[in-house]
Amino acid sequence: MKKTLIPEGTPLFENIARNQIPEILESLSAVQKDYHKNEGILLQGDSVSDLGILLSGSAHSLKTDITGKQVIVTLLKPGSYVGVLLAASQERKSPVTVQADETSSVLYLPYRKLLTQSSCPGHARLLYNLLRGIAEMALVLHDRNDCLIKPTIRDKVLTYLSQEAEKTGSRSFSIPLNRAAMAEYLNVDRSALSRELSRMKQDGLIDFSRSHFRLLT
């Protein structure tokens, strides 16, 4: 596998020498797969044995309930993991579907080999990066849950926007969601969300234009 397939800054390979990466990937029998926009990377109900890393593009995971309603669970960007917790459990089937938002590439590493193949230089660091990534993923899910448990749309929006402001270090920022995706992420009706955003703007809490927001309080 060509080392150029692993973008600079990919968290799983942080602090691993670039010339060590091809050997690591070969020893782990890594495979890269490409996906078109709206193509399913992982389907709800699938069994998972490989750890996936999104190399390029973007995607989202969503869950469909028994009524057919779909709710966005997480947003994925380059470096994000696909199915890491499922690969570790090896018994549970995927509770979510992961869908590409644009042309995307995913690198797959067999989970069993990842744990047992330790002869290559840099492998210990790879495992360290993986554990750190799992911890960060748990924090992302915590942020999402923090939004969902809020009782009103306004509270959900303010919680989400405050999280994004903290991530960017600025009270003026752009979010990675359009209105439909934002409504799904917060698990609210899209029209109700648009109305509440307008009220919040009138009340002097926020200002916004499309996906760019500014917190005023």
CATH number at residue 179: 1.10.10.10
144 inside domain: no
Domain that holds residue 161: 150-215
- Confidence bin at 113 (pLDDT 50/70/90): confident
Range 119-125 contact pairs with CB under 8 angstroms and sequence separation of 24 or more: 119/27, 120/20, 120/23, 120/24, 120/27, 121/17, 121/20, 121/23, 122/16, 122/17, 122/20, 122/21, 122/24, 123/24, 125/14, 125/15, 125/16
Do 74 and 134 lie in a common domain? yes
Number of domains observed in the structure of the chain: 2
Kindly tell me if the per-residue pLDDT of 3 is higher than 70: no
Do 129 and 72 lie in a common domain? yes
Do 118 and 196 lie in a common domain? no
16 inside domain: yes
Residues 6+ apart with CB under 8 A from 67: none
Of the three residues 138, 165, 191, the one that is the final residue of a domain is 138
Kindly tell me if the per-residue pLDDT of 185 is higher than 70: yes
Predicted local distance difference test score (pLDDT) of residue 217: 84
145 inside domain: no
Kindly tell me if the per-residue pLDDT of 214 is higher than 90: yes
41 inside domain: yes
Kindly tell me if the per-residue pLDDT of 53 is higher than 70: yes
Do 82 and 117 lie in a common domain? yes
Predicted local distance difference test score (pLDDT) of residue 34: 95
Predicted local distance difference test score (pLDDT) of residue 66: 81
181 inside domain: yes
Do 204 and 116 lie in a common domain? no
50 inside domain: yes
143 inside domain: no
- The domain that contains 119 carries what CATH number? 2.60.120.10
Do 105 and 134 lie in a common domain? yes
Using one digit for the tens of pLDDT, what is the confidence trace for 30-50? 999 999 999 999 999 999 999
Q: Coil, strand or helix: which one is 81?
A: strand
48 inside domain: yes
Question: Cα 21 from chain centroid?
Answer: 23
Do 128 and 205 lie in a common domain? no
Of the three residues 94, 110, 138, the one that is the final residue of a domain is 138
Do 40 and 116 lie in a common domain? yes
Kindly tell me if the per-residue pLDDT of 125 is higher than 70: yes
Of the three residues 102, 117, 138, the one that is the final residue of a domain is 138
Do 187 and 87 lie in a common domain? no
Do 105 and 156 lie in a common domain? no
Highest mean pLDDT among 116-125, 174-183, 188-197: 188-197
Give the separation between CA 47 and CA 92, rounded to whole angstroms.
7
Predicted local distance difference test score (pLDDT) of residue 31: 92
Do 78 and 171 lie in a common domain? no
Q: What is the mean pLDDT of residues 185-199?
A: 95
Kindly tell me if the per-residue pLDDT of 178 is higher than 80: yes
Predicted local distance difference test score (pLDDT) of residue 106: 95
Do 48 and 117 lie in a common domain? yes
